[in-house]
Amino acid sequence: MEALQRIFKPIIYLALMSLCLYLAQAAQELTFGIAVISLFFLGVWLLITLMFGLNFRVSLIFSTLFLIKPFIPTFYAMLALLAFSLLTQYYQERQKLLWPFPVATTILIGTAFYGLIRSGTPDYALPYFFSTAIVPTLFLVCFANSKIDVQLFDLWVRIIVYINIFLAVIGVIISLLNPTKRIGSLWVTAMTINGFYLLGVFFSIALGMREKDKRKSLFWYLGALVIFLAMVYTYTRMALLAVFFGFFLMVFKMKRFRLIGIIILLLIPLLIPASMIDRVQQTFSFDMSIFIRVLAWYHALKQIAAHPLFGIGISTWQTWYLNVIPFTFLYAEHPHNLFLRVFVEIGVFGFICYFWIIYRVMRDFRRRIVKPSQDNYYSVIYIGMLSLLFACLTDVFIQQYDLSVAFWSCIAFMYALSRQPIEKNEDT
């Protein structure tokens, strides 16, 4: 391991230096408004650290505010403050720096950085580079070197659900005011926020199952229902299908959920907006979006066969695909499949490392936490993450910069908790 560290450290330093130059180039387009947003976000964090102290736990809880209204400037600012908190804590405690999956993360960063260099649109590709390589590595390193416990995880889950409920209430109101339009979100697109809502539904159900007070338990179940209604009104088919996929796993595993699942299913027809009815009718006839996805998958597989080792570069698809399709209405911004997109952009080595990290963490969490604890709370959290990955079969949810924060935070929590003993829950 020491020999590997001696080899990888110079490579990492060189990559960081190159990344700084790349960021400097992208910063040339920095506007006054973007600078003000970033400075405001950092200013609020500075105020909170003065009140509660400078440590990673405080910065982590503060970073959840980013999910209320994600902006790319605050995304970079949030990653910077988390890295700064980790470095401050490291120099204060003088402990050995732990680096989870050093080989896999190094290869992932290297292949992603090479894909970034090959991109012709650095301002567009940079967020995807960070969400694909930097966010996983940074969060895993931060959590591995910080004091992570079950109480912090529970607090984080509750905050994520509170934010989901807040966004869902606003989204439902907007949707009711615009019944014929597919809008209802504070986020930029319905696609991305539906991935966040998907996590919120299962996290809220998990909290309801853990809560022993019936009134508090009812609050969490109602919260899950409100979040689900927001998903219905913004309507992304694969996200809703992923909810049903998760429901099926829960019904198969736990009998106490069956009544709740049936109630939710019965309420759906009463609250379907006109925009959703139109899309459902299209599903049973000819839906152009399905054809566009199938065509994109076909061309993605051709590109994987042609460039299997290092891919075609991050966000190169956008400009390349315009020259491939015969008509512009067949255009797809990406391959509409996370697994294909990662393979297309950074090649087989980056693909294996990216999904191997996810697989290892979730496998260890299931073996060391879900099964030994016999707690439905952890089971539903696990199912929620599986459902989000299932939704990525036709979209790229977790590669979007905003949702990547929530997903990889949960993965990092799973990694940290799976290395701690969890007491067996005798009440479930």
Average pLDDT over residues 85-96: 75
So what's the pLDDT on residue 146?
87
Of the candidates 91, 126, 144, which is a domain's last residue? 144
| DSSP codes joined into one string, 194-221 | HHHHHHHHHHHHHHHHH--SHHHHHHHH
Mean pLDDT, residues 324-338 taken together? 79
pLDDT given for residue 95 in this prediction: 73
Is residue 189 in a domain? yes
Range of the domain at 340: 151-284+336-417
The better pLDDT of the pair 362, 22 is held by 362
Residue 302 belongs to some domain of the structure? no
Asked if residue 398 is part of any domain, the answer here is: yes
> Do residues 19 and 164 share a domain?
no
Asked if pLDDT for residue 326 goes beyond 80, the answer is no
**Do 136 and 70 sit in the same domain of this protein?**
yes
Residue 364 identity (one-letter amino acid): D
pLDDT tens per residue, range 23-46:
555 555 555 555 666 667 667 777
pLDDT of amino acid 135 = 95
Q: What's the pLDDT at 362?
A: 96
**Residue predicted with more confidence, 153 or 15:** 153
Specify the range with the lowest mean pLDDT, choosing from 36-45, 248-257, 311-320, 352-361: 36-45
Residue 331: inside a domain = no
Are residues 16 and 163 both part of a single domain?
Answer: no
Q: Tell me, what's the pLDDT at 272?
A: 55
pLDDT category at 284 given cuts 50, 70, 90 is very low
Decide if pLDDT at 4 tops 60.
Answer: no
Instruction: Mark whether 132 and 186 lie in a shared domain.
Output: no
Beta carbons within 10 angstroms of residue 413's beta carbon: 22
pLDDT at 416: 94
Q: Is residue 105 part of a domain?
A: yes
pLDDT > 70 in the chain, percent: 76
- Burial pattern 294-322, b for ≥16 Cβ within 10 A else e, equals ebbbebbeebbeebeebbbbbbbbbeebe
Task: Give the single-character DSSP code of 286.
Answer: -
Predicted local confidence at residue 260, as pLDDT: 63
**pLDDT level of residue 154 (50, 70, 90 thresholds):** very high
Q: What is the mean pLDDT of residues 274-295?
A: 61
Average pLDDT (323-329) is 76
CA distance readout (Å), 40 to 62, 180, 187, 288: 13, 36, 19, 43
CB 164 within 8 A of CB 200: yes
User: Is residue 247 domain-resident?
Assistant: yes
Are 127 and 78 found together in one domain?
A: yes
Q: What is the pLDDT of residues 162-215, one digit of tens each?
A: 999 999 998 888 877 776 666 667 776 667 888 999 999 999 999 998 888 888
Same structural domain, 127 and 19: yes
Strand, coil or helix: what is 148?
coil
Torsion region of 272: left, alpha or beta (phi above 0 gives left; psi -120 to 50 gives alpha): beta
Place of tokens 């959590």: 143
pLDDT confidence bin for 325, thresholds 50/70/90: confident
Note the pLDDT tens digit of each residue in 248-270: 888 777 766 666 666 666 665 55
- In this prediction, what percent of the chain has a pLDDT beyond 90? 34
Do 135 and 222 fall within a single domain? no
346 and 257 within one domain: yes
Q: Does residue 92 sit in the same domain as residue 241?
A: no
Does residue 241 share a domain with residue 352?
A: yes
Judgement on whether residues 105 and 166 belong to the same structural domain of the protein = no
* pLDDT for the residue numbered 78: 86
Domain boundary at 144, 179, 198, which? 144
Top-confidence range, 93-102, 163-172, 184-193, 317-326: 163-172
- Number of domains present in the structure of the chain: 2
The confidence score (pLDDT) of residue 199 equals: 95
Which pLDDT score is estimated for 10?
59
Is pLDDT at 242 greater than 60 in this prediction? yes
- Closest to 226 (Cα-Cα) out of 176, 192, 188: 176
Please report which confidence band the pLDDT of residue 291 belongs to, taking 50, 70 and 90 as the band edges.
Answer: confident
The tens digit of pLDDT for each residue in 131-147 reads 999 999 999 999 998 88
Residues 203 and 341 in one domain: yes
Q: Among residues 126, 144, 162, which one ends one of the domains?
A: 144
pLDDT of 425 > 50? The answer is: no
Specify if 298 maps to a domain. no
How high is the pLDDT of residue 406?
Answer: 95
Asked if the structure places residue 327 within a domain, the reply is no
